[in-house]
Amino acid sequence: MNVVDFFKQKRDVLSVHPFELKDFLSPSLRDYWLELRNKANNSQIGLLIKDHKLASNDDIAAPAEPVAQPAPIVMKPEAEKLFNELNDTLGEVIHVGQWLTVDQNRINSFADVTEDHQWIHTDPERAAEESPFKTTIAHGFLTLSLLSVLTDSVDPDNQKFPTAKMTVNVGLNQVRFPYPVKAGNRVRASTKIQSVTPIKRGLEIVQELTVEIEGVRRPGCVAESVIRLHF
């Protein structure tokens, strides 16, 4: 008898006389096996598997419920005008602020508010001897906190978006401090628009803000800021 005929014969025998694993076990092991199987079948997972029905190709899928579409945003005329203006300037510098001096008094005041009196910020004598910059430097968060004034966002007489009733700071996507601002440096900020998105009652703007240090090639801060204008 060749191998193929052997397996055919065994298949015919098994089809007439099916068997289970328990048929090969000793009586003691068989009782243990049946008890274990009953516990598994009656467990929560077993019941879930037993009740679960796989969908066949003949099953008819229930029609999906229609997804409610958000109502279209209707922009006010002043918002739509600014939206079009900003979209035409994406990636371009739209604003450069005035120079501002970051002196030691300003650094010390920030240290008092934040309770960060690390000597690299507040001890000019020690900084002159031990710091690689040979002078004190501004806190990175001080430079970051100056973005509002450097971008003319807090001057009521010189606003960057004068047609908006209110500007809300949503947050920052990312922030880097490529080079420290030394005590006595002058800094200013430039603004590039990355994206403009209409929202309810206004616009959401993502902008890149770069803090330039006078006489230094590398910027003191580069931040991606998110603001919302309400009209």
Q: What is the pLDDT of residues 156-189, one digit of tens each?
A: 888 889 999 999 999 999 999 999 999 999 999 9
Cβ density class 92-101: b for 16+ within 10 Å, e for less: eeebebeebe
DSSP string, 201-215: TEEEEEEEEEEEETT
Whether the predicted pLDDT of 190 surpasses 70? yes
Contacts of 25 (CB under 8 A, 6+ apart): 33
d(CA 153, CA 159): 6
Instruction: Name the packing angle between helices 44-51 and 27-42 (round to 10°).
Output: 70
pLDDT in tens, 30-40: 666 667 677 66
**220 CB neighbour count, 10 Å cutoff:** 26
pTM, entire model: 0.68
